[in-house]
A and B are shown apart, each in its own frame.
Chain A
Amino acid sequence: MLKVENISKTFGAGTVNEKDAIDHLSIHLKPGEFVTIIGSNGAGKSTLLNCIAGVYNPDSGKIILDGKLITKKPEYKRSKAIGRVFQDPLKGTAFDMTIEENLAIAISKNRSHGLQRGITNADRDIFREKLSMLGMGLENRMKEKAKLLSGGQRQALTLFMAVITEPKLLLLDEHTAALDPAAAAKVLGLTDYFGNSDKLCTMMITHNMKAALEHGNRTILMQQGRIAMDISGEERDNMTVDSLVEKFAIQNDRMLL
Protein backbone atom coordinates (compact mmCIF):
# COMPACT_ATOMS: atom_id res chain seq x y z
CA MET A 1 0.00 0.00 0.00
CA LEU A 2 2.65 2.52 1.06
CA LYS A 3 6.19 2.25 -0.23
CA VAL A 4 8.77 4.71 0.97
CA GLU A 5 11.97 4.07 -0.94
CA ASN A 6 15.33 5.41 0.06
CA ILE A 7 14.23 8.93 0.93
CA SER A 8 16.51 11.56 2.40
CA LYS A 9 15.78 15.02 3.70
CA THR A 10 18.34 17.55 4.84
CA PHE A 11 17.40 20.82 6.45
CA GLY A 12 19.55 23.91 6.08
CA ALA A 13 21.92 22.28 3.59
CA GLY A 14 25.20 24.18 3.34
CA THR A 15 24.69 26.12 6.57
CA VAL A 16 26.11 25.53 10.04
CA ASN A 17 22.71 24.20 11.05
CA GLU A 18 22.73 21.49 8.41
CA LYS A 19 20.84 18.47 9.66
CA ASP A 20 20.11 15.17 8.00
CA ALA A 21 16.60 14.64 9.29
CA ILE A 22 15.97 11.56 7.15
CA ASP A 23 18.89 9.48 5.94
CA HIS A 24 18.19 6.98 3.13
CA LEU A 25 15.12 5.56 4.78
CA SER A 26 12.88 2.87 3.30
CA ILE A 27 9.72 1.34 4.70
CA HIS A 28 6.88 -0.66 3.18
CA LEU A 29 3.42 -0.91 4.65
CA LYS A 30 0.80 -3.51 3.78
CA PRO A 31 -2.93 -2.79 4.02
CA GLY A 32 -4.09 -3.26 7.59
CA GLU A 33 -0.73 -2.48 9.10
CA PHE A 34 -0.72 -0.13 12.06
CA VAL A 35 2.81 1.05 12.71
CA THR A 36 3.77 2.85 15.88
CA ILE A 37 6.89 4.99 15.61
CA ILE A 38 9.14 5.82 18.52
CA GLY A 39 12.44 7.64 18.78
CA SER A 40 13.98 10.55 20.64
CA ASN A 41 13.59 14.19 19.66
CA GLY A 42 15.20 14.93 16.33
CA ALA A 43 15.19 11.30 15.19
CA GLY A 44 13.18 12.29 12.11
CA LYS A 45 9.77 10.87 13.02
CA SER A 46 7.76 13.97 12.19
CA THR A 47 9.90 14.68 9.15
CA LEU A 48 9.11 11.21 7.83
CA LEU A 49 5.37 11.78 8.22
CA ASN A 50 5.62 15.27 6.76
CA CYS A 51 7.51 13.96 3.73
CA ILE A 52 4.81 11.35 3.17
CA ALA A 53 2.04 13.93 3.62
CA GLY A 54 3.76 16.40 1.31
CA VAL A 55 4.37 19.21 3.79
CA TYR A 56 7.82 19.12 2.26
CA ASN A 57 9.32 17.03 -0.49
CA PRO A 58 12.21 14.68 0.20
CA ASP A 59 15.53 15.62 -1.39
CA SER A 60 15.78 12.17 -2.96
CA GLY A 61 13.92 8.89 -3.01
CA LYS A 62 10.42 7.82 -3.95
CA ILE A 63 7.09 7.63 -2.17
CA ILE A 64 4.41 5.39 -3.65
CA LEU A 65 0.91 5.22 -2.22
CA ASP A 66 -1.65 2.77 -3.51
CA GLY A 67 0.41 2.20 -6.64
CA LYS A 68 0.74 5.89 -7.44
CA LEU A 69 3.97 7.83 -7.32
CA ILE A 70 3.27 10.82 -5.07
CA THR A 71 6.79 12.08 -4.36
CA LYS A 72 6.28 15.40 -6.11
CA LYS A 73 2.55 15.86 -5.71
CA PRO A 74 1.41 18.92 -3.75
CA GLU A 75 0.19 18.37 -0.21
CA TYR A 76 -3.47 19.08 -0.93
CA LYS A 77 -3.60 16.47 -3.70
CA ARG A 78 -2.01 13.78 -1.56
CA SER A 79 -4.47 14.58 1.20
CA LYS A 80 -7.25 13.00 -0.81
CA ALA A 81 -5.89 9.55 0.10
CA ILE A 82 -4.31 10.50 3.43
CA GLY A 83 -5.95 11.36 6.74
CA ARG A 84 -3.93 13.29 9.28
CA VAL A 85 -4.13 14.26 12.93
CA PHE A 86 -1.61 16.76 14.26
CA GLN A 87 -0.07 17.09 17.70
CA ASP A 88 -1.60 20.52 18.22
CA PRO A 89 -5.37 20.11 18.72
CA LEU A 90 -5.85 23.59 17.21
CA LYS A 91 -4.42 22.48 13.89
CA GLY A 92 -7.04 19.92 13.02
CA THR A 93 -10.19 22.00 12.80
CA ALA A 94 -11.30 25.39 11.51
CA PHE A 95 -11.96 27.00 14.89
CA ASP A 96 -14.39 29.67 13.73
CA MET A 97 -16.62 27.20 11.92
CA THR A 98 -19.21 24.89 13.41
CA ILE A 99 -18.66 21.19 14.03
CA GLU A 100 -20.93 20.24 11.15
CA GLU A 101 -19.18 22.69 8.82
CA ASN A 102 -15.85 21.16 9.75
CA LEU A 103 -17.24 17.72 9.05
CA ALA A 104 -18.66 18.93 5.75
CA ILE A 105 -15.18 20.02 4.69
CA ALA A 106 -13.80 16.65 5.71
CA ILE A 107 -16.44 14.66 3.87
CA SER A 108 -15.98 16.79 0.73
CA LYS A 109 -12.35 15.79 0.47
CA ASN A 110 -12.80 13.83 -2.72
CA ARG A 111 -15.57 15.96 -4.14
CA SER A 112 -15.12 19.13 -6.15
CA HIS A 113 -15.13 22.34 -4.14
CA GLY A 114 -17.50 24.27 -6.34
CA LEU A 115 -20.78 26.04 -5.78
CA GLN A 116 -22.68 23.02 -4.48
CA ARG A 117 -24.39 23.41 -1.13
CA GLY A 118 -21.74 23.20 1.56
CA ILE A 119 -23.77 20.90 3.74
CA THR A 120 -26.89 18.91 2.96
CA ASN A 121 -29.42 17.32 5.26
CA ALA A 122 -28.23 13.92 4.11
CA ASP A 123 -24.73 14.87 5.27
CA ARG A 124 -26.14 16.02 8.61
CA ASP A 125 -27.82 12.66 9.16
CA ILE A 126 -24.57 10.84 8.49
CA PHE A 127 -22.68 13.16 10.83
CA ARG A 128 -25.18 12.76 13.63
CA GLU A 129 -25.17 9.01 13.35
CA LYS A 130 -21.39 8.70 13.17
CA LEU A 131 -20.61 11.34 15.80
CA SER A 132 -22.57 9.36 18.33
CA MET A 133 -19.95 6.61 17.94
CA LEU A 134 -17.42 8.93 19.54
CA GLY A 135 -19.48 8.85 22.72
CA MET A 136 -18.85 12.51 23.50
CA GLY A 137 -22.27 13.95 22.89
CA LEU A 138 -20.98 15.95 19.93
CA GLU A 139 -23.96 14.80 17.84
CA ASN A 140 -26.08 17.23 19.86
CA ARG A 141 -23.65 20.12 19.45
CA MET A 142 -23.23 20.16 15.69
CA LYS A 143 -24.08 23.85 15.33
CA GLU A 144 -21.48 24.89 17.89
CA LYS A 145 -18.17 26.34 16.82
CA ALA A 146 -15.15 24.09 16.99
CA LYS A 147 -13.31 26.55 19.22
CA LEU A 148 -15.70 25.69 22.05
CA LEU A 149 -14.48 22.09 22.18
CA SER A 150 -11.91 20.78 24.64
CA GLY A 151 -8.57 19.47 23.39
CA GLY A 152 -9.70 15.85 23.68
CA GLN A 153 -12.96 16.48 21.89
CA ARG A 154 -11.11 18.32 19.16
CA GLN A 155 -8.62 15.51 18.63
CA ALA A 156 -11.45 12.98 18.57
CA LEU A 157 -13.26 15.13 16.01
CA THR A 158 -10.10 15.56 13.94
CA LEU A 159 -9.48 11.83 14.01
CA PHE A 160 -13.03 11.22 12.92
CA MET A 161 -12.66 13.81 10.14
CA ALA A 162 -9.45 12.12 9.03
CA VAL A 163 -11.10 8.74 8.51
CA ILE A 164 -14.57 9.79 7.35
CA THR A 165 -13.64 9.46 3.66
CA GLU A 166 -11.90 6.11 4.20
CA PRO A 167 -8.35 7.14 3.23
CA LYS A 168 -5.61 4.67 2.35
CA LEU A 169 -3.26 6.03 4.95
CA LEU A 170 -3.72 7.58 8.37
CA LEU A 171 -0.87 9.67 9.78
CA LEU A 172 -0.93 10.49 13.48
CA ASP A 173 1.80 12.77 14.76
CA GLU A 174 1.75 12.50 18.56
CA HIS A 175 -1.90 13.28 18.47
CA THR A 176 -2.41 12.58 22.17
CA ALA A 177 0.68 14.38 23.49
CA ALA A 178 -1.16 17.61 24.31
CA LEU A 179 -4.03 15.89 26.11
CA ASP A 180 -4.61 15.03 29.75
CA PRO A 181 -4.32 11.28 30.53
CA ALA A 182 -8.05 10.58 30.48
CA ALA A 183 -8.60 12.36 27.17
CA ALA A 184 -5.47 10.73 25.74
CA ALA A 185 -6.78 7.28 26.68
CA LYS A 186 -10.11 8.06 25.06
CA VAL A 187 -8.51 9.28 21.84
CA LEU A 188 -6.15 6.28 21.77
CA GLY A 189 -9.17 4.01 22.16
CA LEU A 190 -10.79 5.68 19.18
CA THR A 191 -7.52 5.40 17.28
CA ASP A 192 -7.60 1.63 17.78
CA TYR A 193 -11.21 1.57 16.70
CA PHE A 194 -10.60 3.48 13.48
CA GLY A 195 -7.04 2.37 12.82
CA ASN A 196 -7.53 -1.36 13.03
CA SER A 197 -9.10 -1.73 9.63
CA ASP A 198 -7.72 -4.12 7.05
CA LYS A 199 -8.11 -1.54 4.30
CA LEU A 200 -6.13 1.19 6.03
CA CYS A 201 -2.45 1.75 6.83
CA THR A 202 -1.80 3.71 9.97
CA MET A 203 1.40 5.36 11.15
CA MET A 204 1.38 6.72 14.68
CA ILE A 205 4.21 8.64 16.28
CA THR A 206 4.29 8.45 20.03
CA HIS A 207 6.69 9.39 22.78
CA ASN A 208 5.22 6.74 24.98
CA MET A 209 6.95 3.37 24.51
CA LYS A 210 4.31 1.50 26.40
CA ALA A 211 1.62 2.85 24.12
CA ALA A 212 3.79 2.09 21.12
CA LEU A 213 3.90 -1.59 22.05
CA GLU A 214 0.25 -1.80 23.11
CA HIS A 215 -1.30 -0.23 20.05
CA GLY A 216 -1.01 -1.30 16.45
CA ASN A 217 0.70 -4.39 15.08
CA ARG A 218 4.17 -3.18 14.17
CA THR A 219 6.66 -0.88 15.86
CA ILE A 220 9.65 0.96 14.46
CA LEU A 221 12.28 2.88 16.35
CA MET A 222 14.00 5.75 14.60
CA GLN A 223 17.46 7.07 15.35
CA GLN A 224 19.23 9.82 13.42
CA GLY A 225 16.93 9.65 10.46
CA ARG A 226 17.11 5.88 10.06
CA ILE A 227 15.05 2.94 11.19
CA ALA A 228 17.02 1.32 14.01
CA MET A 229 14.46 -1.35 14.81
CA ASP A 230 11.43 -2.74 13.04
CA ILE A 231 9.46 -5.38 14.91
CA SER A 232 6.14 -7.09 14.45
CA GLY A 233 4.42 -10.39 15.24
CA GLU A 234 5.86 -12.57 17.95
CA GLU A 235 9.03 -10.57 18.38
CA ARG A 236 6.91 -7.53 19.13
CA ASP A 237 4.58 -9.43 21.42
CA ASN A 238 7.54 -10.46 23.53
CA MET A 239 9.09 -7.02 23.59
CA THR A 240 8.85 -5.02 26.78
CA VAL A 241 9.65 -1.42 27.54
CA ASP A 242 12.55 -2.56 29.71
CA SER A 243 14.16 -4.63 26.99
CA LEU A 244 13.71 -1.78 24.53
CA VAL A 245 15.52 0.57 26.88
CA GLU A 246 18.28 -1.95 27.42
CA LYS A 247 18.67 -2.67 23.75
CA PHE A 248 18.86 0.90 22.56
CA ALA A 249 20.28 2.63 25.59
CA ILE A 250 17.43 5.04 25.54
CA GLN A 251 18.16 7.89 27.87
CA ASN A 252 15.13 9.95 27.24
CA ASP A 253 12.98 10.00 30.36
CA ARG A 254 10.03 11.32 28.44
CA MET A 255 9.83 8.15 26.41
CA LEU A 256 9.54 6.05 29.52
CA LEU A 257 6.59 7.87 30.97
Chain B
Amino acid sequence: MMGMTAIFGALESGMIYAILALGVFLSFRTLKTPDLTVDGSVVTGAAASAMICTMGGNPIFALIASFIVGCGAGAITALLNIKLKIQPLLAGILVMLGLYSINLRIMAGRPNISLMDNSTIYMGLEGLLPEKYLHLILNAVILIFAIILFYFFLKTRMGFSLRATGDNEDMVRASGINSDLMKLIGLSLSNGFVGLAGGMLAQYQGFSDVTMGTGMVVIGLASVILGEALFGIKSLSRRLVSVSLGAILYRFAIAFALYIGMPAGDLKLVSALIVTVALAFGLLNESMTLNAMVKRRRKKNA
Protein backbone atom coordinates (compact mmCIF):
# COMPACT_ATOMS: atom_id res chain seq x y z
CA MET B 1 0.00 0.00 0.00
CA MET B 2 1.08 3.58 -0.67
CA GLY B 3 2.76 5.27 2.25
CA MET B 4 1.05 7.97 4.28
CA THR B 5 3.47 10.56 2.92
CA ALA B 6 2.45 9.74 -0.62
CA ILE B 7 -1.25 9.88 0.26
CA PHE B 8 -0.89 13.18 2.06
CA GLY B 9 1.19 14.53 -0.79
CA ALA B 10 -1.44 13.56 -3.35
CA LEU B 11 -4.21 15.09 -1.28
CA GLU B 12 -2.33 18.33 -0.60
CA SER B 13 -1.12 18.91 -4.14
CA GLY B 14 -4.47 17.69 -5.46
CA MET B 15 -6.19 20.59 -3.72
CA ILE B 16 -3.87 23.05 -5.43
CA TYR B 17 -4.47 21.37 -8.77
CA ALA B 18 -8.17 21.58 -7.99
CA ILE B 19 -7.91 25.38 -8.10
CA LEU B 20 -6.19 25.07 -11.48
CA ALA B 21 -8.97 22.71 -12.59
CA LEU B 22 -11.61 25.25 -11.52
CA GLY B 23 -9.84 27.81 -13.68
CA VAL B 24 -9.84 25.41 -16.62
CA PHE B 25 -13.49 24.64 -15.91
CA LEU B 26 -14.32 28.30 -16.38
CA SER B 27 -12.79 28.48 -19.86
CA PHE B 28 -13.47 24.93 -21.04
CA ARG B 29 -16.97 24.39 -19.70
CA THR B 30 -18.38 27.85 -19.18
CA LEU B 31 -16.95 29.61 -22.21
CA LYS B 32 -16.56 26.35 -24.16
CA THR B 33 -13.02 27.20 -25.29
CA PRO B 34 -10.08 24.99 -24.44
CA ASP B 35 -7.54 27.62 -23.40
CA LEU B 36 -3.88 26.70 -23.84
CA THR B 37 -2.71 29.87 -22.10
CA VAL B 38 -2.81 27.75 -18.94
CA ASP B 39 0.54 26.10 -19.65
CA GLY B 40 2.12 29.54 -19.53
CA SER B 41 0.00 31.36 -16.97
CA VAL B 42 0.50 28.72 -14.28
CA VAL B 43 4.24 29.37 -14.50
CA THR B 44 3.70 33.13 -14.52
CA GLY B 45 1.81 32.73 -11.26
CA ALA B 46 4.52 30.51 -9.81
CA ALA B 47 7.29 32.84 -10.95
CA ALA B 48 5.63 35.92 -9.49
CA SER B 49 4.95 34.15 -6.22
CA ALA B 50 8.49 32.77 -5.98
CA MET B 51 10.12 36.09 -6.76
CA ILE B 52 8.08 38.00 -4.21
CA CYS B 53 8.84 35.39 -1.55
CA THR B 54 12.56 35.37 -2.28
CA MET B 55 12.61 39.14 -2.04
CA GLY B 56 11.11 38.84 1.41
CA GLY B 57 7.62 39.95 0.41
CA ASN B 58 4.43 38.87 2.13
CA PRO B 59 3.54 35.36 0.87
CA ILE B 60 -0.18 36.20 0.85
CA PHE B 61 0.53 39.26 -1.21
CA ALA B 62 2.59 36.96 -3.46
CA LEU B 63 -0.50 34.82 -4.09
CA ILE B 64 -2.60 37.88 -4.89
CA ALA B 65 0.09 38.90 -7.36
CA SER B 66 -0.03 35.39 -8.89
CA PHE B 67 -3.74 35.80 -9.41
CA ILE B 68 -3.34 39.20 -11.01
CA VAL B 69 -0.56 38.21 -13.43
CA GLY B 70 -2.63 35.15 -14.36
CA CYS B 71 -5.55 37.45 -15.15
CA GLY B 72 -3.23 39.54 -17.30
CA ALA B 73 -2.15 36.52 -19.32
CA GLY B 74 -5.75 35.46 -19.86
CA ALA B 75 -6.71 38.99 -20.87
CA ILE B 76 -4.04 39.01 -23.58
CA THR B 77 -5.35 35.74 -25.03
CA ALA B 78 -8.88 37.10 -24.96
CA LEU B 79 -7.83 40.34 -26.66
CA LEU B 80 -5.98 38.46 -29.40
CA ASN B 81 -9.20 36.61 -30.02
CA ILE B 82 -11.61 39.53 -29.74
CA LYS B 83 -9.69 42.35 -31.35
CA LEU B 84 -7.46 40.55 -33.83
CA LYS B 85 -9.93 37.71 -34.55
CA ILE B 86 -7.32 35.04 -33.93
CA GLN B 87 -8.89 31.67 -33.15
CA PRO B 88 -9.01 31.01 -29.40
CA LEU B 89 -6.85 27.91 -29.64
CA LEU B 90 -4.16 29.70 -31.63
CA ALA B 91 -4.34 32.78 -29.42
CA GLY B 92 -3.69 30.55 -26.41
CA ILE B 93 -0.71 28.92 -28.09
CA LEU B 94 0.79 32.30 -28.98
CA VAL B 95 0.41 33.66 -25.47
CA MET B 96 1.73 30.44 -23.97
CA LEU B 97 4.86 30.72 -26.13
CA GLY B 98 5.38 34.38 -25.37
CA LEU B 99 4.90 33.78 -21.68
CA TYR B 100 7.88 31.44 -21.62
CA SER B 101 10.19 34.41 -22.20
CA ILE B 102 8.24 36.62 -19.83
CA ASN B 103 8.32 33.98 -17.10
CA LEU B 104 12.06 33.67 -17.50
CA ARG B 105 12.35 37.44 -17.15
CA ILE B 106 10.20 37.48 -14.04
CA MET B 107 12.52 34.87 -12.56
CA ALA B 108 15.45 37.17 -13.36
CA GLY B 109 16.71 34.91 -16.11
CA ARG B 110 17.05 31.85 -13.86
CA PRO B 111 15.18 28.73 -15.02
CA ASN B 112 14.68 27.61 -11.44
CA ILE B 113 14.15 29.45 -8.17
CA SER B 114 14.29 27.70 -4.83
CA LEU B 115 12.17 28.91 -1.91
CA MET B 116 13.68 26.68 0.73
CA ASP B 117 14.79 29.44 3.06
CA ASN B 118 12.06 31.93 2.39
CA SER B 119 8.80 32.52 4.14
CA THR B 120 5.72 30.96 2.54
CA ILE B 121 2.07 30.90 3.58
CA TYR B 122 2.76 27.52 5.14
CA MET B 123 5.61 28.75 7.29
CA GLY B 124 3.50 31.58 8.63
CA LEU B 125 1.17 29.06 10.25
CA GLU B 126 3.80 26.82 11.77
CA GLY B 127 3.11 26.43 15.44
CA LEU B 128 -0.53 27.44 15.06
CA LEU B 129 -1.53 24.18 13.39
CA PRO B 130 -0.15 20.69 13.88
CA GLU B 131 2.67 20.38 11.38
CA LYS B 132 1.43 17.13 9.90
CA TYR B 133 -1.88 18.64 8.78
CA LEU B 134 -0.73 22.17 8.14
CA HIS B 135 -0.47 21.93 4.35
CA LEU B 136 -3.64 19.91 4.15
CA ILE B 137 -5.71 22.34 6.17
CA LEU B 138 -4.42 25.47 4.50
CA ASN B 139 -4.88 24.09 1.00
CA ALA B 140 -8.35 22.86 1.89
CA VAL B 141 -9.33 26.27 3.26
CA ILE B 142 -8.16 28.06 0.11
CA LEU B 143 -9.84 25.49 -2.15
CA ILE B 144 -13.15 25.70 -0.30
CA PHE B 145 -12.97 29.46 -0.44
CA ALA B 146 -12.34 29.25 -4.20
CA ILE B 147 -15.28 26.89 -4.72
CA ILE B 148 -17.62 29.16 -2.77
CA LEU B 149 -16.39 32.17 -4.72
CA PHE B 150 -16.95 30.32 -8.00
CA TYR B 151 -20.40 29.22 -6.97
CA PHE B 152 -21.63 32.66 -6.04
CA PHE B 153 -19.95 34.30 -9.00
CA LEU B 154 -21.59 31.93 -11.49
CA LYS B 155 -24.97 32.71 -9.90
CA THR B 156 -24.66 36.44 -10.43
CA ARG B 157 -25.94 38.32 -13.46
CA MET B 158 -22.39 38.47 -14.75
CA GLY B 159 -22.02 34.75 -14.15
CA PHE B 160 -25.22 34.09 -16.10
CA SER B 161 -23.97 36.26 -18.94
CA LEU B 162 -20.67 34.41 -18.96
CA ARG B 163 -22.34 31.01 -19.10
CA ALA B 164 -24.71 32.10 -21.82
CA THR B 165 -21.80 33.46 -23.87
CA GLY B 166 -20.34 29.97 -23.96
CA ASP B 167 -23.70 28.51 -24.92
CA ASN B 168 -24.96 30.93 -27.52
CA GLU B 169 -23.27 34.16 -28.48
CA ASP B 170 -26.06 35.29 -30.78
CA MET B 171 -28.56 35.07 -27.96
CA VAL B 172 -26.21 36.94 -25.63
CA ARG B 173 -25.75 39.85 -28.01
CA ALA B 174 -29.48 39.93 -28.66
CA SER B 175 -29.93 40.22 -24.88
CA GLY B 176 -27.94 43.42 -24.62
CA ILE B 177 -24.79 41.75 -23.30
CA ASN B 178 -21.34 42.54 -24.66
CA SER B 179 -20.16 39.02 -25.49
CA ASP B 180 -16.59 40.19 -26.14
CA LEU B 181 -16.39 41.69 -22.68
CA MET B 182 -17.67 38.44 -21.21
CA LYS B 183 -14.95 36.49 -23.01
CA LEU B 184 -12.37 38.94 -21.67
CA ILE B 185 -13.63 38.61 -18.12
CA GLY B 186 -14.00 34.85 -18.38
CA LEU B 187 -10.54 34.13 -19.74
CA SER B 188 -8.97 36.60 -17.32
CA LEU B 189 -10.60 35.03 -14.27
CA SER B 190 -9.89 31.54 -15.55
CA ASN B 191 -6.18 32.26 -15.87
CA GLY B 192 -6.25 34.22 -12.63
CA PHE B 193 -7.16 31.03 -10.77
CA VAL B 194 -4.61 29.11 -12.79
CA GLY B 195 -1.99 31.70 -11.79
CA LEU B 196 -3.08 31.42 -8.17
CA ALA B 197 -2.66 27.64 -8.34
CA GLY B 198 0.82 28.19 -9.81
CA GLY B 199 1.68 30.59 -7.01
CA MET B 200 0.51 28.13 -4.37
CA LEU B 201 2.36 25.31 -6.07
CA ALA B 202 5.63 27.28 -5.96
CA GLN B 203 5.21 27.95 -2.24
CA TYR B 204 4.06 24.39 -1.54
CA GLN B 205 6.79 22.54 -3.36
CA GLY B 206 9.41 25.16 -2.53
CA PHE B 207 10.48 26.08 -6.02
CA SER B 208 9.38 27.57 -9.30
CA ASP B 209 10.60 26.10 -12.55
CA VAL B 210 10.17 27.70 -15.96
CA THR B 211 9.19 24.36 -17.51
CA MET B 212 6.68 23.34 -14.83
CA GLY B 213 3.73 24.42 -17.00
CA THR B 214 4.11 21.76 -19.67
CA GLY B 215 0.92 19.75 -19.91
CA MET B 216 -0.89 21.67 -17.17
CA VAL B 217 -3.85 22.38 -19.42
CA VAL B 218 -4.22 18.66 -20.11
CA ILE B 219 -4.08 17.94 -16.38
CA GLY B 220 -6.77 20.56 -15.89
CA LEU B 221 -8.93 19.10 -18.66
CA ALA B 222 -8.43 15.58 -17.33
CA SER B 223 -9.52 16.73 -13.88
CA VAL B 224 -12.62 18.42 -15.25
CA ILE B 225 -13.63 15.51 -17.47
CA LEU B 226 -12.85 12.74 -14.98
CA GLY B 227 -14.36 14.58 -12.06
CA GLU B 228 -17.59 15.32 -13.89
CA ALA B 229 -17.85 11.79 -15.24
CA LEU B 230 -17.28 10.15 -11.88
CA PHE B 231 -18.96 12.50 -9.46
CA GLY B 232 -21.79 14.01 -11.48
CA ILE B 233 -22.86 17.39 -12.78
CA LYS B 234 -26.38 17.60 -11.47
CA SER B 235 -26.13 21.08 -9.99
CA LEU B 236 -23.56 23.81 -10.19
CA SER B 237 -22.31 23.19 -6.66
CA ARG B 238 -22.07 19.48 -7.33
CA ARG B 239 -20.20 20.17 -10.51
CA LEU B 240 -17.61 22.42 -8.88
CA VAL B 241 -16.99 19.83 -6.17
CA SER B 242 -16.76 17.11 -8.83
CA VAL B 243 -14.12 19.04 -10.75
CA SER B 244 -12.10 19.55 -7.56
CA LEU B 245 -12.38 15.88 -6.65
CA GLY B 246 -11.32 15.03 -10.19
CA ALA B 247 -8.08 16.96 -9.67
CA ILE B 248 -7.41 15.25 -6.35
CA LEU B 249 -8.18 11.85 -7.84
CA TYR B 250 -5.83 12.62 -10.67
CA ARG B 251 -2.98 13.27 -8.21
CA PHE B 252 -3.77 9.98 -6.54
CA ALA B 253 -3.59 8.21 -9.89
CA ILE B 254 -0.20 9.79 -10.51
CA ALA B 255 1.03 8.86 -7.03
CA PHE B 256 -0.16 5.33 -7.59
CA ALA B 257 1.51 5.11 -10.98
CA LEU B 258 4.78 6.20 -9.42
CA TYR B 259 4.24 3.77 -6.55
CA ILE B 260 3.93 0.79 -8.88
CA GLY B 261 7.17 1.86 -10.50
CA MET B 262 6.18 3.81 -13.60
CA PRO B 263 8.98 6.13 -14.73
CA ALA B 264 8.08 9.75 -13.96
CA GLY B 265 8.80 10.69 -17.56
CA ASP B 266 5.90 8.54 -18.79
CA LEU B 267 3.30 10.42 -16.77
CA LYS B 268 2.59 13.03 -19.44
CA LEU B 269 1.84 10.30 -21.95
CA VAL B 270 -0.57 8.76 -19.47
CA SER B 271 -2.24 12.15 -18.95
CA ALA B 272 -2.65 12.60 -22.68
CA LEU B 273 -4.12 9.09 -23.00
CA ILE B 274 -6.60 9.66 -20.18
CA VAL B 275 -7.94 12.81 -21.80
CA THR B 276 -8.02 11.21 -25.25
CA VAL B 277 -10.01 8.23 -24.00
CA ALA B 278 -12.36 10.46 -22.05
CA LEU B 279 -13.01 12.67 -25.07
CA ALA B 280 -13.37 9.73 -27.44
CA PHE B 281 -15.92 7.99 -25.28
CA GLY B 282 -17.90 11.15 -24.93
CA LEU B 283 -17.60 11.17 -21.16
CA LEU B 284 -18.85 14.66 -21.61
CA ASN B 285 -22.57 14.38 -21.63
CA GLU B 286 -24.84 13.72 -18.75
CA SER B 287 -25.83 10.22 -19.82
CA MET B 288 -22.27 9.03 -19.35
CA THR B 289 -21.77 10.03 -15.75
CA LEU B 290 -21.42 7.27 -13.21
CA ASN B 291 -24.44 8.63 -11.46
CA ALA B 292 -26.62 8.27 -14.53
CA MET B 293 -25.31 4.76 -15.16
CA VAL B 294 -26.17 3.66 -11.65
CA LYS B 295 -29.64 5.14 -12.06
CA ARG B 296 -30.13 3.36 -15.37
CA ARG B 297 -29.06 0.05 -13.86
CA ARG B 298 -31.45 0.51 -10.98
CA LYS B 299 -34.26 1.24 -13.37
CA LYS B 300 -33.42 -1.88 -15.36
CA ASN B 301 -33.43 -4.06 -12.28
CA ALA B 302 -36.59 -2.59 -10.90
Chain A interface residues toward B at CB < 8 A: 53, 74-77, 79-80, 82-84, 86, 90-97, 101-102, 104-106, 108-119, 161-162
Give the secondary structure class of B's interface: helix
B296 adjacent to chain A (CB < 8 Å):
no
For the complex, what is the distance from the CA of A92 to the CA of B169, rounded to whole Å? 10
Q: Which residues of B contact A97 (CB under 8 A)?
A: 160, 163-164, 167
What residue of chain B has the Cβ atom nearest to residue A116's Cβ?
A: B157
Interface residue? B171 (CB, 8 A): yes
Q: How far is the CB of B18 from chain A (nearest CB, A)?
A: 23
**Does B301 lie at the interface of the complex (its beta carbon under 8 Å from any beta carbon of A)?**
no
How far is B174's CA from A83's CA once the two chains are assembled, in angstroms? Answer: 7
Residue from the list A96, A111, A118, A161 in contact with B167, Cβ < 8 A: A96
Judge whether B168 is part of the interface by a CB distance below 8 angstroms: yes
Given contacts A91-B168, A91-B170, A96-B167, contact A118 B160 (CB under 8 A): yes
CB within 8 A of A76: which of B153, B167, B168, B179? B179
Task: Give complex CA distance A119, B163 in Å.
Answer: 14
User: Is B158 within 8 A of A114, CB to CB?
Assistant: yes
- Chain B proximity of A256: nearest CB distance (Å): 30
A-B contact pairs, 5 of them (CB 8 A): A93-B168, A96-B167, A112-B157, A114-B157, A118-B160
A94 x B156 contact (CB < 8 A): no
Contact for B156 among A74, A75, A115, CB less than 8 A: A115
- Could you say which interface size class chain B belongs to? 20 to 34
Residues of B within 8 Å of A80, CB to CB, are 176
Interface pair B176/A116, CB less than 8 Å apart: no
B161, A105: Cβ atoms closer than 8 Å: yes
In the complex, A80→B210 CA distance in Å?
47
- What's the nearest-Cβ distance from chain A to residue B233, in Å? 10
Measured in the bound complex, the distance between the Cα atoms of B174 and A110 in whole Å is: 12
Residues of A within 8 A of B87 (CB): none
**Which 3 pairs show the lowest CB-CB distances between chains A and B?**
A94-B167, A94-B164, A109-B176
Contact with A53, one of B157, B167, B171, B174 (Cβ below 8 angstroms): B174
Chain A residues, Cβ within 8 Å of B172: 76, 94, 105
CB contact between B157 and one of A75, A82, A92, A108 (< 8 Å): that residue = A108
**Known contacts A91-B171, A92-B171: does B176 contact A76 (CB below 8 Å)?**
yes
> B158, B163, B173, B179 — which one has the most chain A CB atoms within 10 A of its CB?
B173
